[in-house]
Structure 1
Amino acid sequence: MSSTSSLSCPADQEPLIQRSDSPTGSITSYKSIPKSDNDDLELSLTNSNSNPRGRSVENDVLPETAVLGRNLGWSSAYILIMSRVIGSGIFATPGAIVRSVGSVGITLLLWIAGALIAWLGLAISLEYGCMLPRSGGDKVYLEFVYRRPRFLASVLIAVRSVLLGFTASNCIVFGEYVLYAFKREQSQFEGKVLAIGLLTTIVIIHSCFLKTGIFIQNVFGWVKISLAIFMVLTSLFVLLFRSNGTTDNTIQIWTKGSNIWDGSVWNWGITSTAMFKVSYSYAGLSNVNNVLNEVKDPVRTLKSAATTALITSCILYLLVNIAYFLVVPMEEIKSSGELIAALFFERVFGAKLGSVLLPLAIATSAAGNVMVVTFSHARVIQEIARQGFLPFSQFISSSKPFGAPMGALVTHYIPSFLVISIPAANVYSFILDVEGYPGQFFSIAGSLGLLWLRYKRSDLQRPYKAFLPAVTLQALHSTAVIFAPFIPREDLNWRQHLSEVSYAFVGTAVIVFGICYWYVWTVWLPRRSSSTLEEIEAILDDGTTVTRLLQVPIGFKPTLTTEQADTRQTT
């Protein structure tokens, strides 16, 4: 699975334990593994040889180089994070957040709290990533920790990644801002056509032109950082040199501290929903964890790039929000929907320049986010398929014909396409909440799993250690967020309340569906046919090592020929 060169790295980059033989057998050609016949099955299993570098979960502690090679240095890793973090969130969600919480003060507190909460999650992902330096992110970590019930963690991650791992929200923002820039009436149909066109183009680029796609997303990343800095500088220019009624009112807000709390809504249910949107804007700090097989010097790069990205994004988010408050009146912010940044540019640069060129820059920012999410999430899907948990696993696992995971990109494309096609006008906020809610369950599992590993697996080398109270706090926060939508709200009756928190029911339904799917596939069907699921390793034509799951009759015992026994003893 891992080449010898992938294991030769500095001592401080080797989070290794004593390797144990893989229980799954030798790596053979994928095409040589039979699909049904019992005689062929016996032949296949008798060819099993002990393989110390197999796809056993215990070998996740070994660094692995992707078939695609290690193409991502520190700069590419940093931009991969920043392009994921700075997407449509800071340009589209502040209006909805201010409308919910009512005041400048609570809004800024939420962005600071979001950074602290993001740090809790980042610390956990850093410890996991440095300890288990493999592509796949949560898929690798939860499989390593939760080995019983067998396959449950893997199936839940697969279901969530396929059904909820879409990039629809940023595609929608791209379409809205392009229409706004060209003075087109906000047409739901035209916006969706633009969104689907963007998604399709990006999938084609990443499928057929790997290095070109990496170069383009790096350029988009630096453009987004520059855009955020530019917005801050222009807001200061307006405040200092272009005095008018709006700026005079703004100056009063900031000089009289009590005004920043005017209109505050102190309700945990409302605040938690707003926090979903803030958290979405910080989502992606662990983006490099999904592609560590392609990162040069993965452990050191991960620690440095991720921490730098968190500090950068927190500072930029606070400054951009302050820029909005300095330029756009509060009432316009509350009614802006997803177009708050467009209103900002229009007020600063006038109707022509402000409403054409700079909204296009924001559309470019959203496109860059779609590029990096598509790039990294396709790798997660590929890792899931390599473990045999998806239909058409061979196609999804392969990097043929252009040296990129085309099958995984297509798998990522389909649910995103379907979500964008939903005939609903205000689907953006709902998508954000549906994406974020089930993630809280996995956050709790990851936090508790890290605590368990500290106690049970002291043999693991940890180049980075999370602050344990922070890990506990992260679990408590995720638990509070799970229950927050069900706290009664005085301003809504129960029907309206249920409608407002429908995202919680949809997110929970996805988790329940995953559990049912796992039970039917791994428990009920094998029990019904008096068999067990066994993992057989194989290698694809492009060199990708995969696992195939076979139903083996209970009591079946493979036998070795003399030649095979000698081979195993030699190995």
Structure 2
Amino acid sequence: MSIVPIADQLNEQMNLAERFFELTFGKLNVADNTGQRIFSAFLAVSSFGNIVVMTYTAARVKQEIAKEGILPFPKFFAMNRDVSLARFLRWANCRPILPRLFGRMLKSRWFVPEGHSEETPVGALILHFGSCLVLILVTYRVEPTNTYRLLAKVYTYSVHAFFGVLLAGGILRLRLNRKEGWRKKTIGINPQLSVMSAIVYLLGSLFPVIVSWVEPSGELERFADTKIHWYLVPLLSWSAIAFGALWWLGFLVFAKRIEKRNGTIFMIQRDPAIARDPPINGSPIQVNETVYLGWVTKENITTMQASGGRQGESSRHDFVLQW
């Protein structure tokens, strides 16, 4: 902030990061665009890392949603599948021609299939790809810069701001509700500091959620983004949030109707398998998880609870998820 002039910081159309590199590295040569090229290189690396992280995170989140049974075809979207290099190596070793041509290479330690075996949430990745494809198709006629700004602002509003409010509210509820017994779980931590931090985070997240609905006017109008209508960001964000909430409520209504009509209740049970890594004195980790989803008759619920809660023949489907 000390490098970029105040006039540039107040300019809505100005890219502050690019301007920073132009002011620092552009002094090497007046006619040179070194600063802009360095900024583009950093932006490319940062964008690639963001895509990798968001793809992994979004796929895992969608997989956990599928485990709750509220998505169609939950088994497909929730299961992990082996599409790693180990699968190709096993296929190559079973072919008579490839071992003859690359026998020495396939027998090396690096090409041992067990060292490259890793399961991937393929169904969740396909769902994530589909949702990204929808965003691309609905904005393909919009200028790329405006599309990026709009989607970035919608993501910031719905994920960081809206869910930030819920997160801060949940932290305050845990701290201030005596029934939760949170003070006993956090002995040695200054409660005033944690409460004040949550309040600041709540107010900071709540500010864009509310102010985005106010149309810029007066002196603030010259700082507004004129290429995007002021109401689009909160409207699209709340539309996405409402769609998710209605989908969840619709599933609850559907499950209630099935319960009244057939006398069955939708049950979800998770059986995690825990092991230590390293085996003897390592930290406990989850190596796999068995998720049981099914419509269970009310008469069998008591039997299930007595037998440890495992679903039997009354389940419509069950599946194992390997991590």
Q: TM-score range by the shorter chain?
A: 0.5 to 0.7
Instruction: Name which of 448, 460, 463 aligns with 2:169.
Output: 448
Could you tell me which residue of structure 2 aligns to residue 489 of structure 1?
216
Could you tell me which residue of structure 2 aligns to residue 503 of structure 1?
233
Maintained 8 Å contact 1:522/1:533: no
Could you tell me which residue of structure 1 aligns to residue 314 of structure 2?
none
**Structure 2 residue 77 is matched with structure 1 residue 347:** no
Could you tell me which residue of structure 1 aligns to residue 291 of structure 2?
547
Maintained 8 Å contact 2:215/2:230: no
**Structure 2 residue 181 is matched with structure 1 residue 458:** yes
Q: In structure 2, how many angstroms separate the alpha carbons of the residues matched to 1:342 and 1:418?
A: 35
Counterpart of 2:217 in 1: which secondary structure?
coil
Could you tell me which residue of structure 1 aligns to residue 65 of structure 2?
384
Q: Provide Cα deviations, 1:321-370, integer angstroms capped at 9, x if missing partner.
A: 333449xx839966445854674577345436445455233312221222
How far has the Cα of 1:550 moved from its partner? 2.9
Could you tell me which residue of structure 2 aligns to residue 189 of structure 1?
none
- Structure 1 480/568 Cα, relative in aligned 2: closer, same or farther at 3 Å? closer
Instruction: Name which of 278, 296, 300 aligns with 1:557.
Output: 300
Could you tell me which residue of structure 1 aligns to residue 242 of structure 2?
512
Where in structure 2 are the equivalents of 1:295-310 lying within 5 Å?
none
How far has the Cα of 1:505 moved from its partner? 1.0
Where in structure 2 are the equivalents of 1:280-295 lying within 5 Å?
none
- Structure 1 525/342 Cα, relative in aligned 2: closer, same or farther at 3 Å? same
- Structure 1 458/550 Cα, relative in aligned 2: closer, same or farther at 3 Å? same
How far has the Cα of 1:500 moved from its partner? 1.2
How many residue pairs end up in the alignment? 239
Q: Provide Cα deviations, 1:151-178, integer angstroms capped at 9, x if missing partner.
A: xxxxxxxxxxxxxxxxxxxxxxxxxxxx
Q: In structure 2, how many angstroms separate the alpha carbons of the residues matched to 1:449 and 1:510?
A: 22
How far has the Cα of 1:481 moved from its partner? 2.5
Could you tell me which residue of structure 2 aligns to residue 330 of structure 1?
8
How far has the Cα of 1:417 moved from its partner? 3.5
Could you tell me which residue of structure 2 aligns to residue 145 of structure 1?
none
Could you tell me which residue of structure 2 aligns to residue 129 of structure 1?
none
Where in structure 2 are the equivalents of 1:520-531 lying within 5 Å?
520-527=250-257, 530=260, 531=264
How far has the Cα of 1:384 moved from its partner? 2.8
Maintained 8 Å contact 2:154/2:233: yes
Counterpart of 1:486 in 2: which secondary structure?
coil
Could you tell me which residue of structure 1 aligns to residue 131 of structure 2?
415
2:134 alignment partner AA: L
Counterpart of 1:390 in 2: which secondary structure?
coil
TM-score between both structures, scaled by the size of structure 1: 0.36
Could you tell me which residue of structure 1 aligns to residue 196 of structure 2?
469
Q: In structure 2, how many angstroms separate the alpha carbons of the residues matched to 1:568 and 1:488?
A: 57
Where in structure 2 are the equivalents of 1:273-284 lying within 5 Å?
none
Q: In structure 1, how many angstroms separate the alpha carbons of the residues matched to 2:199 and 2:15?
A: 35
Q: In structure 2, how many angstroms separate the alpha carbons of the residues matched to 1:568 and 1:479?
A: 44
Maintained 8 Å contact 1:534/1:551: yes
Q: In structure 2, how many angstroms separate the alpha carbons of the residues matched to 1:374 and 1:520?
A: 27
Maintained 8 Å contact 1:341/1:359: no
Counterpart of 1:500 in 2: which secondary structure?
coil
- Structure 1 559/517 Cα, relative in aligned 2: closer, same or farther at 3 Å? closer
Larger relative helix fraction: 1
Q: Provide Cα deviations, 1:191-237, integer angstroms capped at 9, x if missing partner.
A: xxxxxxxxxxxxxxxxxxxxxxxxxxxxxxxxxxxxxxxxxxxxxxx
Larger relative strand fraction: 2
Maintained 8 Å contact 2:70/2:251: no
Maintained 8 Å contact 2:60/2:121: no
Could you tell me which residue of structure 2 aligns to residue 429 of structure 1?
149
Instruction: Name which of 97, 120, 127 aligns with 1:405.
Output: 120
Counterpart of 2:185 in 1: which secondary structure?
coil
Maintained 8 Å contact 1:388/1:548: no
- Structure 1 497/356 Cα, relative in aligned 2: closer, same or farther at 3 Å? closer
Q: Percent identity?
A: 20
Which structure has the higher relative contact order (CA within 8 Å, separation 6+)?
Answer: 1
Where in structure 2 are the equivalents of 1:217-228 lying within 5 Å?
none
TM-score between both structures, scaled by the size of structure 2: 0.58
- Structure 1 404/342 Cα, relative in aligned 2: closer, same or farther at 3 Å? farther
2:265 alignment partner AA: T
- Structure 1 435/330 Cα, relative in aligned 2: closer, same or farther at 3 Å? closer
Q: In structure 2, how many angstroms separate the alpha carbons of the residues matched to 1:481 and 1:323?
A: 27
Larger radius of gyration: 2
How far has the Cα of 1:556 moved from its partner? 3.4
Q: In structure 2, how many angstroms separate the alpha carbons of the residues matched to 1:502 and 1:519?
A: 25
Maintained 8 Å contact 1:333/1:340: no
Q: RMSD across aligned C-alpha pairs, in angstroms?
A: 4.0
Maintained 8 Å contact 1:536/1:550: no
How far has the Cα of 1:552 moved from its partner? 3.7
- Structure 1 348/376 Cα, relative in aligned 2: closer, same or farther at 3 Å? farther
